[in-house]
Chains A and B, each alone.
Chain A
Amino acid sequence: MDVSSETRLRPGARPRGGGETARAANGPAARAIDWLRRNLFSSIGNTALTLAVLAVLALALPPLYHWAIGDATISGNNRAACIGDGACWTFIKVRLPTFFYGHYPDAERWRVHLALILLVLFGLPVMREGMQRRGLFTVLLLTLFPLLAGILLVGGVAGLREVDTTLWGGLMLNVVISFLAIEASLLLGILLALGRRSVLPAVRTFSIGYIELWRGMPLLIIVITSATLVPLFLPEGASVDRLVRFIVAFSLFEAAYMAEAIRGGLQGVPTGQIEAAQSIGLRWWQVRAFVELPQALRFAFPSIINTSMDLFKDTTLVSFIGLFDLLSAVIAASKDTAWLGYYKEGYVFAMVVFFIACFAMSLQARRLERRLNRHK
């Protein structure tokens, strides 16, 4: 969606000026009353609407509060601890390791933590504005970090015990898949977006066909293909890990969406920039690498973040092919006979975890968008 409209004048906010400001200047209390009058009680109809919404909230919020906090339980570590009518957060507390790491062995979990710390360390310089050599850090995040994290998580070298990917799970799995798929789909998406604008008819046709075909398919068909069909196209005896198969297929799928996000950015680069670059004798790839793409990616960054957010949410579809992500862990937990009846807590927990991650991403996208538009 168009995020820039956020910055537009809100329908309820009247232009400030003249009498409004004069009245609003009489201290905070008067300002508050003025605000209330303007936004909630401007007319009889508006007042009625406000009262109706307040009534609905008064009916809905107290039970919600009692369920989630007031009567909820979090102490203890078995079902007997949950005696009140409220939520049984004890259930979540007990299951937390499964929700976060899946079946990753207890003794090896420090490796997951270390990989997470590495992600933050490598990611921070990339996210910080005005950082020197940001391009270098981006390249490091996309090359060195996955290598290090891969060694850490998979193991089998440098005295680390090998942890089979079938043991991976929980939120960790969602994050691993997202990172790799974002990286791969971004690179492929750049090629496709350039291909779509290419002057070579074959390249252009292929790119358009690829993008439109994958965007017309439900993701689920890709997920199932990766699980059932891909082995048929592999040489005899070769077998590829189910997780890797999924990540490859998922990246191919998401690349079509990334390409569209990047195309938006490419369209934002003034033609004069490219013509200027060509006129000083830069070759095709030099124009792309040094002039067009750096600007286009900056323009496309908000859309790329939004696409990445959708991609992150889509990783829950691995539950269809038996990979044990956060959603699968929650579904499995809600069917545990020892905790029967506490299904709400699990889903609410999953929703909250995804909400925090995705909301942070969309706020970041909006902030970047505002920054981009400020210079216009």
Chain B
Amino acid sequence: MVRRPSRGAVITQWVILALLAAAAVLLFLMAHENFARRHVSFNFSFLAWPANFDIPFHLISWSESDSYGRVIIVALLNTLLVSALAIVTGSVWGLLIGMMRLSRNWLVRNLALAYIEVVRNTPQLVQIVFVYAATVQLPPLRQSIAFAGGALLNNRGLYLPAFVIGDGMWWLPWLAVALLAAIPFLWRRRRGGRPIGAYSLLLVPAAMGLVASAVERMTFPELKGFNITGGVVVPPELVALWIGLSLYAAAFIGEIVRGSIEAVPKGQNEAAQSLGLSYAPRLFLVTLPQALRIMVPPLTSQYLNIIKTSSLGALIAFPELFQMVLGTVMQHSDRYVETLFIVGMVFLAINLVTSAFMNWYNRRAALVER
């Protein structure tokens, strides 16, 4: 329905453009005047200043004399960490919820429905704060809950056994990650008409071998006096945010899974049945691969949602991007515009990268019609 716009419409368009431009100029002038009056300027020199505060949880090394610029990187890594964790657990849990919704068992089906309704009809922020309040109420250090495998859970967080990487070996685990990441690319390789992609699974033991050779020893968390030594600690804020984000996302992912599986034509399943395939192969070889294609676009926006809502961790003081940059850095450096600009740009970039990746995957996974 492409119509040539009428002359009146074209005039309207110019009027609207002029109004928008006028509004932008007005805002700019106002801000310019206010900046000048408050002796505020717009530049990013503050990023090099020393921060002089501690960050309770950091993936890369951090000392108080490091710069504001490094704060942003530390905080961004924390945001990405909790988002990645929540995407993995939320997807697994959501897949389970979706399958439960499709169960022929009335009890299982409605249990999943009840879960979805409760989660979707209450604010996520309340859920996260509630989970956090519960983790803070966990037993104190001396009465830690011990798990099989040596993990300890108490009100200071989750203590996990850790690998100690030998000196100069730090690049081996990264190489292992790269090998694992190569598998999806090799999966569809063919030689002489025979699919050979499955051989890429041999990379898994190779990666495990690399990690194993890099590990010098393992440390287990141990209670010593008033402290726990050894292992790594996952702080309660991260645990709470991780759980909160996963539980919420799972309800939506569950509905996406159910919708996409229901959208696969019934004839596909019936045809597989008539070939004599039993339930599991029907599900994993016929239904799910087709459902996956339908799932990708809504799943993309769900994953983007997880990254966006990880910002709610600021209310429970998890040092992610918002808490650190728009909270601590903004107050310490007095740079309102710049910090907001940085965070906005970071989210824009995350959005673009994620949707580009998902679009790429979508193209690969889409049905090739004749």
Distance of A50 Cα from B108 Cα, bound (Å): 7
Cβ-based interface call for A313 (8 A): yes
Are B133 and A225 touching (Cβ within 8 A)?
no
Are A232 and B326 touching (Cβ within 8 A)?
no
Cβ-based interface call for A199 (8 A): yes
Are A232 and B126 touching (Cβ within 8 A)?
no
Are B348 and A216 touching (Cβ within 8 A)?
yes
Q: How far is the CB of A64 from chain B (nearest CB, A)?
A: 13
Given the interface pairs A12-B103, A12-B105, the reply to whether A199 lies near B123 with Cβ below 8 Å is no
Cβ-based interface call for B64 (8 A): no
Interface of chain A residues 309 through 359 with chain B (CB within 8 A)? 309, 313-314, 316-317, 319-320, 327, 330-331, 334, 343-344, 347, 350-351, 354-355, 358-359
- Residue of A39, A233, A343 near B106 (CB, 8 A) is A39
Are A347 and B34 touching (Cβ within 8 A)?
no
Residues of A close to B309: CB separation below 8 A: 218
Specify the main secondary structure of chain A where it touches its partner.
helix
Are A218 and B105 touching (Cβ within 8 A)?
no
- Residue of A10, A221, A327 near B344 (CB, 8 A) is A221
Are A2 and B259 touching (Cβ within 8 A)?
yes
Residues of B close to A81: CB separation below 8 A: none
Are A200 and B10 touching (Cβ within 8 A)?
yes
Residues of B close to A54: CB separation below 8 A: 107
Are B315 and A319 touching (Cβ within 8 A)?
yes
Are A216 and B347 touching (Cβ within 8 A)?
yes
Residues of B close to A233: CB separation below 8 A: 27, 30-31, 34
Distance of A284 Cα from B11 Cα, bound (Å): 14
Are A203 and B34 touching (Cβ within 8 A)?
no
Given the interface pairs A200-B9, A221-B326, A271-B1, the reply to whether A327 lies near B122 with Cβ below 8 Å is no
Are B118 and A236 touching (Cβ within 8 A)?
no
Distance of A347 Cα from B123 Cα, bound (Å): 11
Contact indicator per residue, chain A 295-307, by CB within 8 Å of chain B (1) or not (0):
0000000000000
Residues of A close to B344: CB separation below 8 A: 217, 221
Are B107 and A1 touching (Cβ within 8 A)?
no
Are A46 and B104 touching (Cβ within 8 A)?
yes
- We find that the number of chain B residues with CB closer than 8 angstroms to chain A is 70
Are A331 and B129 touching (Cβ within 8 A)?
yes
- Residue of B13, B125, B311, B336 near A327 (CB, 8 A) is B125
Distance of A46 Cα from B106 Cα, bound (Å): 10
Residues of A close to B118: CB separation below 8 A: 351, 355
Cβ-based interface call for A17 (8 A): no
- Residue of B13, B123, B343 near A203 (CB, 8 A) is B13
Q: How far is the CB of B64 from chain A (nearest CB, A)?
A: 25
Are B347 and A217 touching (Cβ within 8 A)?
yes
Cβ-based interface call for A83 (8 A): no
Q: How far is the CB of B316 from chain A (nearest CB, A)?
A: 10
Cβ-based interface call for B5 (8 A): yes
Residues of B close to A327: CB separation below 8 A: 123, 125-126, 129
Contact indicator per residue, chain B 2-35, by CB within 8 Å of chain A (1) or not (0):
1111001110110011001000000100110111
Cβ-based interface call for B340 (8 A): yes
Interface of chain B residues 326 through 370 with chain A (CB within 8 A)? 326, 330, 336-337, 340, 343-344, 347-348, 351
Complex: chain B residue closest to A195, CB-CB: B16
Top 3 closest A-B pairs, CB basis? A39-B106, A358-B121, A313-B123
Q: List 21 A-B contacts (CB under 8 A).
A: A1-B256, A2-B259, A12-B104, A50-B105, A53-B108, A53-B111, A216-B351, A218-B347, A220-B312, A221-B322, A221-B340, A225-B340, A232-B34, A232-B35, A233-B30, A316-B125, A344-B133, A347-B133, A351-B118, A351-B122, A362-B120
Chain B contacts to A: CB under 8 angstroms: 1-5, 8-10, 12-13, 16-17, 20, 27, 30-31, 33-35, 37-38, 40, 102-109, 111, 117-118, 120-127, 129-130, 133-134, 137, 252, 255-256, 258-259, 262, 304, 308-309, 311-312, 314-315, 322, 326, 330, 336-337, 340, 343-344, 347-348, 351
